[in-house]
Structure 1
Amino acid sequence: MIRPLFRRGGAALAAGTLLLLSACGTTETPTASTTSTTSKEQTSAAAGPVEVIDGRGKTVRLDAPAKRVVALEWGEAEMLVTLGVMPVGVADTKGYATWVTAEKLDPSVKDVGTRQEPSVDSIVQLNPDLVVMEAERGSPLLAQIEKYVPVLVAKASDASDNLERMRGDFTMIAETVGKRDTADQVLKDFDAAIQQGKQKLGAAGAAGGAFVMADGWQEGNAISIRPFGQGALVSQVAIAAGLKNAWTGKVDKVWGLGQTDVEGLTAIKGEDVRFLYNASDGSDVFAQGLEENSIWTSLPFVEAGQVHKLTNGIWTFGGPKSCEQYLDELVRVFTA
């Protein structure tokens, strides 16, 4: 499975391929009370050698927790900032600023090229202790970078249990930067946020409410739609909060993502369904490309006025803080 990428910030699928894709409220930086450690044992553990097994099953060893880290995907970059470690380099910092607002990058963070083709030279020049990338990068790029610096490969997605996968990636990264205590607190807060969201939805009579989450993009006159199925990360956030995914079409086994067109959306029944979509870069095919499409305008959720654009900058492939943003959005939509 190739990492989902975006054309003009919108989702892009490889031509003619159904499942291989061409490749989540505001939050606050953890306070000192949640990030600091006080015991001698904790301090020693955070300063000593590090050894973890990464997403490809390889043991990654560091003499000490990494301080200078380069992230080649936005989800892992977000996780690092949540942990209190500002990356020294990130692939496509401009794109990150458009699509990810849960955690902001400092102006000092260097752009190391595109997510598709990061620059090895730019990465090495930053003299990092560690490079974090995602599981599908089994290309020559991985071997090239490992000639100069240790590489930690995150699993990135697993549609069989994406919430647990996200927690695992976050904890693994925390171990490599000596921030396991911070990670434990963040995940504890995340679990509490899920329960609070579930309570708010229940109090509003929205428990069990149906949703569909999708991306859309246009190429020429053709509009393609990518629904997020049961196993997609943000879908699992919604399900954990007590909602029901109304998209039952075929999806891939890694990302939980499908492919359809406007006609395919007729399979979604019921005017109580909320249809959510992401268009952070301004390319809004649902508002600007389908407004005169008779099939689209006749869909029950469209007729009922239940089409909701996400607040810009909620990354649907992110870490705990992006997931909390998405949860806040669900509460907003279902309790309005």
Structure 2
Amino acid sequence: MQKSLWLVGWVAALALAQAACPGGRVAHDLGEVCLPAPPKRVVTLDWRPLEDLLLLGVRPVAGADLEDFPRWVRLSLPRGSKNLGSRTAPNLELLAALKPDLILGYTGFQGRLYPELSRIAPTALYDYLPPEGQLAAMERHFLLHARLVGKEEEGKKVLEDLKRFLAQSGQSLRDKGLAEKPFLLVQAWAREKVYNVFTRATLASELLERIGLRNTWKGRAEAYGLSRVGPEGLVRLVRENPEVLVFLIAQPENNPFKDPAVGPLLRLTRAQILPLAPTTWTYGGPHSARVLVEEVLRAIGGVK
């Protein structure tokens, strides 16, 4: 009898939980969220969820580091979105005043703020840059973002389109005889005398290898799967790899060719240094992934 009563109580509790959370609970890297209905006031504290929501046609009421976002991501920000300041230290008073019903972000930047954020509104934080499997993580997190805002079917279609695009891009490279062509991907921070070289563990490298190129860098991965070299290391890198395609991402103020200590040496090498557009974001979602591949295909269009 007692067992039957316990079972009835458990079923009733489960029914209440499902009624309060009809879409089911959605897990994130620091817990889970339950949203009774698709949220109407979403705040994004990192560029990845901001990009994802814009791609899905959802207009966040606020975001962080919005001034720099257009310099890296080729998506227009909607008018009226509030800027909450830095991604690492957003304005929590302004955030609370906006009365959001969902907050999205990144464990690496906002993880320490999770207790405060979750008191303001349901909060989902994901680790976008795990030590390995960053492409699979990007796809998984995009679908979770889509599910949280009631756009799961639209999200699935976006990923299907990306998969088809990557397959077509790979076929295009094979048709040009560029399958397995070795490459290096470098992002320049010339003002700081630092150059990031992408290891095979990064999202950007996984995307380029998915279309048939081959990352030839063997350096040790540091933060975010990147290796870091200085100016001398960069020159040595391109000098020792004359047959390798070197894809270079550099904002105007960080272009190594404008550095009088580095530029002339780079020009003397026989390496094929192929600049990508400065607005090539290597840590984004499906939109930025497509832009990266399109930039690479454009850059190697004249390669023989």
Instruction: Please report the TM-score for the alignment, with normalisation by the length of structure 2.
Output: 0.86
Distance 2:153 2:284 in 1: 20
Deviation at 1:335, TM superposition (A): 2.4
Match for residue 270 of structure 1? 241
The residue correspondences of 1:1-336 to structure 2 (distance < 5 A) are 48-56=22-30, 58-101=31-74, 103-137=75-109, 139-219=111-191, 223-252=193-222, 255-265=224-234, 266-267=236-237, 269-280=240-251, 282-289=252-259, 295-301=265-271, 306-336=272-302
Cα deviation, residue 239, structure 1: 0.3
C-alpha separation between the residues in 2 aligned to 1:226 and 1:270?
16
The alpha carbon displacement at 1:133 in A equals 0.8
Partner in structure 2 of residue 7 of structure 1? none
Q: Which residue of structure 2 lines up, in the alignment, with residue 34 of structure 1?
A: none
Structure 1 unaligned spans of 5+:
1-46
Deviation at 1:157, TM superposition (A): 1.2
Q: 1:213: how far off?
A: 1.2
User: What secondary structure, in the 3-state scheme, does the structure 2 residue paired with 1:164 have?
Assistant: helix
Larger RCO of the pair (alpha carbons < 8 Å, separation 6+): 1
What number of residue pairs does the alignment pair up?
Answer: 281
Offset at residue 244 of structure 1 (A): 0.8
Give the Å deviation of 1:263: 2.8
Percent sequence identity over aligned pairs: 27
Give distance in 2, aligned partners of 1:275 and 1:316: 15
How many angstroms apart in 2 are the aligned matches of 1:190 and 1:99? Answer: 20
SS state of the match for residue 81, structure 1?
helix
Question: What is the CA deviation profile of residues 153-178 of structure 1, one whole-angstrom value per residue up to 9, with x for unaligned ones?
Answer: 12211242111000011011111111
CA contact under 8 A between 1:216 and 1:226: conserved in structure 2?
yes
After superposition, the C-alpha distances for 1:307-334 in whole angstroms (9 at most, x for unaligned) are 2222232211100011001111111122
**What is the CA–CA distance in structure 2 between the aligned matches of 1:172 and 1:242, rounded to whole Å?**
28
Q: Cα deviations across residues 241-269 of structure 1 (Å, max 9, x unaligned)? A: 000112211113x6211111133242454
Q: 1:298 to 1:312 in 2, by over 3 A?
A: closer
Q: Deviations over 1:171-228 (max 9, x none)?
A: 1111111111011000000000100110111111111112111222234xx6211111
Q: Equivalents in 1 of 2:201, 2:262: separation in Å?
A: 32
**Matched residues in 2 for 1:140 and 1:233: separation?**
24
Structure 1 runs of 4+ aligned residues shifted over 6 Å read none
Query: What are structure 2's unaligned runs of at least 5 residues?
Result: 1-20
Larger Rg: 2
| 3-state secondary structure, aligned to 2:287 | helix
RMSD in angstroms over aligned alpha carbons?
2.1
Contact 1:50 1:65 in 2 (8 A): no
Q: Residue 9 of structure 2 aligns with which residue? A: none
What letter matches 1:131 in structure 2?
A: I
User: How many Å separate the matches in 2 of 1:163 and 1:292?
Assistant: 33
Equivalent pair of 1:223/1:261 in contact (CA under 8 Å): yes
Distance in 2 between residues matched to 1:202 and 1:184, nearest whole Å: 27
8 A Cα contact 2:190 2:256, kept in partner: no
What amino acid does structure 1 have at the position aligned with 2:44? Answer: A
